[in-house]
Amino acid sequence: MRKILQKLLIEIADAREKFLSQVKNNIVGYEHVIERILVAIFCQGHCVIEGVPGLAKTLLVKSIAETLDLKFNRIQFTPDLMPSDITGSEIIRQKDGSIDFEFIKGPIFGNIILADEINRTPPKTQAALLECMQERTVTVNGLKYELENPFIVLATQNPVEQEGTYPLPEAQLDRFLFYLILDYPSFSNEINIVQDMSSKVLKKLNHVLSPEKIIEVQKVLYNIPISNETIEYAVKLGRKTRPDNDESPEPVKKWVEYGVSPRAIHSLIFAAKSLALVRGNPSPTKKEVKELIIDVFRHRLILNFQAEADGISVEYILNLLLNETE
């Protein structure tokens, strides 16, 4: 196993550089988000991507899918979208004088699923994703259908326009590994974006990793070693987000309604393994945990009304914990 891991470390670290290089042919900047999505794919995790319209969220996801040779499906979430529009439905077929039901697969049957503006559809339809994201199956009339592998949901949200939206419940948000924020590009990047949009068409991207190689990495990830010290550090951070914990600092007790769950801490550890692998490191350390904690905990830490009144953000609380936890 050690030899397999060493070989894979070199292979994936090289693939990461090629992957970033290929995606950059169509996307300027956002290296942080692009790398996080690659980490999530290896973790079999899902991501929320929040950003205002016009930041190329759809192009970003399509470019990642093309570079990894994965089947891409886009689902536009609207108020009238039904669960069967996502999962698929049974239709009646008549053949040789007999009538039978045939299941027609919906757009959820793909590798990378873009759930565009996921908060614009009612809770009933949002809930159709729960089984897909957690169990990677679709159940219709008592029959289970396996989804394709690799499988990752990348859901987008617009932080500005909230009229007519349905905020995702905490139970569904907890299914997402990362909550990623797309900010406006820097001045130099924005110049390059405008120049590129005005002077060239999108490039056809080369495949960097195959679906089979991604599945191999997903399996090996469980065998990547991690020290007890790193695990204990992640658990300490997670426990300190809970206001009823005696070791939590006073700001947490004042401004936090609910801390993160054990599943969130496990997600942080697993993501740290994936990030270490992507960067060619044999084992994750506190460094990877520190780097990932905001993206993993951002959507799982629930602040109270006092925090909102005082203008306190989740990021502020998490940075406070990072600064005072050894």
Answer yes or no: are the C-beta atoms of 120 and 163 closer than 8 Å.
no
The region, left, alpha or beta by phi > 0 then psi within -120 to 50, assigned to residue 231 is alpha
pLDDT of residue 98: 73
Q: Parallel, antiparallel, or unpaired for β 112-116 and 152-157?
A: parallel
State the average pLDDT for the chain.
86
Mean pLDDT score, 299-326: 90
Lowest mean pLDDT among 33-47, 183-197, 252-266: 183-197
Mean pLDDT score, 287-297: 94
Lowest mean pLDDT among 134-138, 183-187, 238-242: 183-187
pLDDT of residue 154: 93
pLDDT of residue 163: 66
pLDDT of residue 58: 86
pLDDT category of residue 200 using cuts at 50, 70 and 90: low
pLDDT category of residue 291 using cuts at 50, 70 and 90: very high
pLDDT of residue 41: 93
- Structural domains of the chain ordered from first start: 2-215 (3.40.50.300), 224-324 (1.10.8.80)
Cα–Cα distance, 268 to 261 (Å, whole number): 11
pLDDT category of residue 23 using cuts at 50, 70 and 90: confident
Q: What percent of the chain has pLDDT over 70?
A: 95
Backbone angles phi, psi at 96, to 5 degrees: 55, 40
pLDDT category of residue 1 using cuts at 50, 70 and 90: low
Q: What share of the chain is helix, strand, coil (3-state, %, to 5)?
A: 50, 15, 35
pLDDT of residue 93: 75
Mean pLDDT score, 140-164: 83
pLDDT of residue 242: 94
Res 318 pLDDT > 90 = yes
Res 196 pLDDT > 90 = no
Q: What is the pLDDT of residues 62-116, one digit of tens each?
A: 889 988 989 999 999 888 888 888 888 878 777 766 777 777 888 999 999 999 9
pLDDT of residue 198: 64
H-helix or E-strand spanning residue 315: helix 314-324
Res 173 pLDDT > 90 = no
